[in-house]
Amino acid sequence: MSPNGVRDFVQGAMPRGATRLKLERWLVSQGRVARPPNVGQFVRLLNEVAGDLSPKQAVQMGRQLASLLVESYEERRLAPPGWVRDLQRHYQPPAATAGDVRARPS
C-alpha cells in the first residue's frame, strides 16, 4: 500500500478491492484481538451482509446468528461471553405491551 493510500485509509477512505483483501488478510494474520468485538460494529457488519434482504429478514438473520453463537459456546460447555449475550439482547423481539392484542394467546 502506498503512503498516500495509507493516509487516505486512515482518514476513512474505502480501499480498492485488492488492497482491502490484503488488509483483511493482514488483520487475520495478527491473531487474537486484545478486546472483545464491539456489538455495534458487529450489527453494522451484519446489516452490510444482509444488504439485499428485507429489514425483517436482516433481523431474523441477526437473531439466528446470535442464537447459533450461544449454542456453540454452550455445546463446548463454555459460558457465552458478554458480547454474545449483548448481541442476543440486541436481537430479542421487543417485549409485548399490555395493549398489544397480537401478543395475547388466543
Q: Which domain holds residue 58?
A: 37-94
Judgement on whether residues 26 and 48 belong to the same structural domain of the protein: no
Please, which residues have CB within 8 angstroms of residue 36's CB and are 6 or more apart in sequence? Answer: 81, 82, 83
The interaxial angle of helices 82-90 and 39-49, nearest 10 deg, is 50
Task: Please give the model's pTM, rounded to 2 decimal places.
Answer: 0.58
Using CA atoms, how far residue 97 sits from 48, 54, 75, 101, 104, in Å, is 31, 25, 34, 9, 10
Query: What is the reported pLDDT for 4?
Result: 81
Judgement on whether residues 83 and 50 belong to the same structural domain of the protein: yes
Q: How far apart are CA 83 and CA 42, in angstroms?
A: 10
Is residue 103 one of the residues assigned to a domain? no
pLDDT in tens, the chain (106 residues): 678 877 887 777 877 778 778 877 877 787 776 777 788 888 888 888 888 889 899 899 999 999 999 999 999 999 999 999 999 999 988 776 666 555 545 4
